[in-house]
Amino acid sequence: MSDALKLAFSPFAAPARGVFVVFCDGGLKFGPATAKAIAPAAGLVARAAKAENFTGKSGAALELAVPEGLKVSRLVVIGAGDTKGLEQKDLLKLGGLAMGKLPVAAAEATVFAELPGGALKAGQAADLAQGIVLRAYAFDRYKTKRKDDEKPPARRNVTVAVGDVAAVRKAYAVNEAISGGVLLARDLVNEPANVLYPEEFARRAQALKKSGVAVEVLDLKALKKLGMNALLGVGQGSRRESRVVVMRWNGGKAGDAPVAFIGKGVCFDTGGISIKPANAMEDMKGDMAGAACVVGLLQALGARKAKVNAVGVIGLVENMPDGNAQRPGDIVTSMSGQTIEIINTDAEGRLVLGDVTWYTAKRFKPKFMVDLATLTGAIIVALGQEYAGMFANDDKLAERLTKAGEATGEKVWRMPLGPEFDKQIDSKFADMKNTGGSRWGGAITAAQFIKRFVDDKTPWAHLDIAGTAFDSRQTDINKSWASGWGVRLLDRLVKDYYEK
């Protein structure tokens, strides 16, 4: 489990026990501290490299058990390939690879944060450490039985040896706040829906108060009074009550307009009366990943005391079929006053976001709004699991998100919007309907629907994260089902462009 990892920083010194992880470049070169620490086994390493055809290319690893001349139980050499122009995502990857090389039973490890050019800079070493933490996460709280060879130690001590310990500790404090947010988001997404229903989700969001974030929970009565009937319609077939949670972090100037993040929080999506087929329906416990990201982000901003005013608003519902469930053909009046004909009760996320987006704009008049939602299967067809789909009414915001995505590795790909798509959601009976006429371009018509709840003066971006939030291709920094996607991206967006 994630909290079983104990991370520490120390100066470079040859470790006396445990697993020893070092890095080399694509020319098999080591940094000076590394070369010194492995000197007694240098010949052995060279022979092993030759025998294994190990050339230090990025991601490759050479492993030596009980290396003669060293006190450690295992030496792992990880290739960093070309070490020029390493970005944050590359350092995270190296940290993830290092953690991944620890045998299940290993209780102690030392990782040298050094490349041939010398000790990593403080920020780089802190990113490496973050990669270790993200990779170490496992969601195993419901595992009560283990085979002997799968039993992890009660605690894992990983020491990262660095050049300037104090400087790295300082840089890492910021990263620790961010990884805390990522791991919180993963926990929320991994939790099953019998445990994490709207009220419980709201309770967990309340814990952000510890990080100085103000948390407000709107209950059924408040939501009815506001007229959020599009959101309430989705939840009305469930035994669990709907909630909206508003989180505020005020680290910027008093009176400065906030940046706003909005999340789809469908705690379980059966499809409702337009019920989904059984195959992989269990994945729909993750249909609250947008909301989880917003909670993780607000926790991170609070924990690292970001100099920004930020709000997070999440719509929490459960989409179930029962005698009180909403029907295809029903017409609801949204908070904006616009009416919506329900064609398909499985197109529920946009109904939730319509009301929450409208509410956020009216109440907070934000600098910009970014919403995150596991909104459509169509975006997975279009982009796969490597990129989230981005729809935006503002080029500057879109460009900033793209750049933040490239730096963090949480990439977004811009998709089109336009009147040709918008007219597909015109309805015979109401102002609009909740699905387009055809399956084609389904992610776009979904985005057009949300856009009808955004005024053109507020810069807005919608991120369809159906492909990236869970069940994604396992990466070097995540082996769990939920990825926690978006927390690092949006933290970076805030840090690079909106903090004073």
Residues of this chain that bind Mn ion (CB under 5 A): 269, 346, 348
Structure tokens at 170: 């300082």
Structure tokens at 367: 């600098």
Residue 88 or 376 with smaller CB distance to ligand BES? 376
Which residues of the shown chain bind ligand BES in the complex (CB under 6 A)?
Answer: 269, 287, 344, 346-349, 374-378, 435, 442, 466
Closest distance of CB 142 from ligand BES, Å: 22
276 is a catalytic site residue: yes
Residue 49 or 375 with smaller CB distance to ligand BES? 375
The residue from 89, 93, 186, 350 that is catalytic is 350
Residues 268-287 that bind Zn ion (CB under 5 A): 269, 287
Closest distance of CB 349 from ligand BES, Å: 5
Structure tokens at 28: 């098999």
How far is C-alpha 168 from the geometric centre of its chain's CA atoms? 24
The residue from 29, 203, 204, 276 that is catalytic is 276
Q: Rule CB under 5 A: is residue 266 a binding residue for Zn ion?
A: yes
Which residue is at the shortest CB distance from Mn ion? 346
Residues 300-359 that bind Zn ion (CB under 5 A): 349
350 is a catalytic site residue: yes
Residue 78 or 373 with smaller CB distance to Mn ion? 373
Residue 298 or 450 with smaller CB distance to Mn ion? 450
Residue 89 or 264 with smaller CB distance to ligand BES? 264
Closest distance of CB 374 from Mn ion, Å: 9
Closest distance of CB 361 from ligand BES, Å: 23
Residue 347 or 361 with smaller CB distance to ligand BES? 347
Q: Which stretch binds Zn ion (CB under 5 A): 30-38, 108-116, 233-241, 266-274?
A: 266-274
Closest distance of CB 189 from ligand BES, Å: 11
Closest distance of CB 115 from Zn ion, Å: 44
User: Given the rule CB under 5 A, which residues bind Zn ion?
Assistant: 266, 269, 287, 349
Residues catalogued as catalytic: 276, 350
